[in-house]
Amino acid sequence: MSTGSARVYDLSAARPEGWFDEVLRQSPDFERACQIIGRATLGLGLIAGARISSLTPNPHSQNLTAVEFSIGPDPTARQVSLAEFRETIARYLLTPLHNTSLPEEPDVEALQAHIGGRYMLEASLFYVRPIELRHDLGLSEITLEFNDVRHVLALEDFRDVIDERVRAELGLGQADDEVAIDLALVIQAEEANASGNWSATVAMLTPWLAPISMLLRTGEAEELTEDVHGRLSEGLDLLGTAYANMGELDAANEVLRLGVQWAGESSKAGDLFFTLGRASVAGDKHGEAIGLLRRAIRLGIDEGEALPLLATSLAARDQTLAAMVCLDRAREAASEAMDTSELHAELEARFGDAWAGFRRWMTETE
């Protein structure tokens, strides 16, 4: 499919989705191998073309587990430690690919070859879903989805991200994730947002999305300090806020949801739920906003800030009484977060005399 000079191709047929799960379903031996050497190691070994003939677990150290295998065109089997097995398959998987040109009307095989067949298999193994390929002026970009967040990466950047994940899974000289993701950028993004320079925040922090989405699915994320989790979620809050202020509400929602996953149940999670709820209100997603804002309030967000927005969404969903109660509570909190006089007048008009009666009844029962 063409868009102007650009060519855009749907990758749904080119994705080898579920290939590894199908392998496991077909062979109990592979299931047992997963338990011994790990799911990712076995999957990457298959992608590299390794043929495992036996595994001898070591009860004292997984890395001392013995693996007997052959690989590539040489049928000779050799027995090595698991650590050496991982190094061997890494050499096969991290060899640079020769770029394959893209014909005008590529079939599935041509699309896979252009992206790199092994990268498509690895992406599936890591639960990354390439959505579409855009080719323009000799350059290719891939739209992909991971952890329910969409990213757009140049083809070479996509390969680099997958290669880094391979290195991390195989335990080979991966970069320290705390260093690779420059947390100092959070301070710069704070300054940019404070001055309304939303595009600067987007430019600084968008490159984080792919690596930290992938990091979240690994055990490495649990090893990061609480401070790093907090700074990452803070950065995602800033990025989501920037997207929302630029009118890109879908992108804001995706980023903020990722931030919520990083924040867990920390105090920062309340800020993220509030920002996400505010973006949902702005996007007229009021049913979604109600749950998000209520969660933010439970996590300690200032009611004076959140209740007027919650009232707006409740009113939009015809929950008039709940909306009025929220407005009253906001007034009690001396909220000046937003002018609610127009909404208050509208809701009073819906109630008529019933609201005054309800207030009298509430006062009498207190």
Which pLDDT does position 213 carry in this prediction? Answer: 77
Q: Residue 31: pLDDT above 90? A: no
User: Comparing 68-77, 130-139, 277-286, 310-319, which segment has the lowest mean pLDDT?
Assistant: 277-286
Q: What is the largest CA-CA distance in the chain?
A: 90
Q: What integer best gives the mean pLDDT of the chain?
A: 82
Which pLDDT does position 260 carry in this prediction? Answer: 79
Confidence category of residue 35, pLDDT binned at 50, 70, 90:
confident
Question: Bigger pLDDT: 183 or 110?
Answer: 110
Which pLDDT does position 16 carry in this prediction? Answer: 94
User: Comparing 23-27, 202-206, 359-363, which segment has the lowest mean pLDDT?
Assistant: 359-363
d(CA 350, CA 57): 72
Question: Contact, 43 vs 86, CB < 8 A?
Answer: no
Mean pLDDT of 217-227: 70
Question: Bigger pLDDT: 243 or 9?
Answer: 9
Question: Contact, 308 vs 335, CB < 8 A?
Answer: yes
Question: Bigger pLDDT: 158 or 276?
Answer: 158
Mean pLDDT of 20-34: 88
Q: What percent of the chain has pLDDT over 90?
A: 21
d(CA 225, CA 229): 6
- Within a 10 A sphere around the Cβ of 152, how many other Cβ atoms? 16
Residue-range domain boundaries for the chain: 2-170, 175-301, 311-366
Mean pLDDT of 261-283: 78
Confidence category of residue 302, pLDDT binned at 50, 70, 90:
confident
Q: Which residues contact residue 234 at a Cβ distance below 8 angstroms, ignoring those fewer than 6 apart?
A: 186, 268, 271
Q: Residue 110: pLDDT above 60? A: yes
Fold type of domain 175-301: 1.25.40
Question: Bigger pLDDT: 123 or 273?
Answer: 123
Mean pLDDT comparison of 117-131, 247-261, 270-284, 329-343, highest-scoring range:
117-131
CA 235 to chain CA centroid, nearest Å: 14
Mean pLDDT of 334-353: 72
Q: Which residues contact residue 124 at a Cβ distance below 8 angstroms, ignoring those fewer than 6 apart?
A: 15, 16, 17, 18, 19, 20
Q: What is the pLDDT of residues 169-212, one digit of tens each?
A: 887 754 444 435 677 788 888 998 999 888 888 888 887 777 77
Confidence category of residue 108, pLDDT binned at 50, 70, 90:
very high
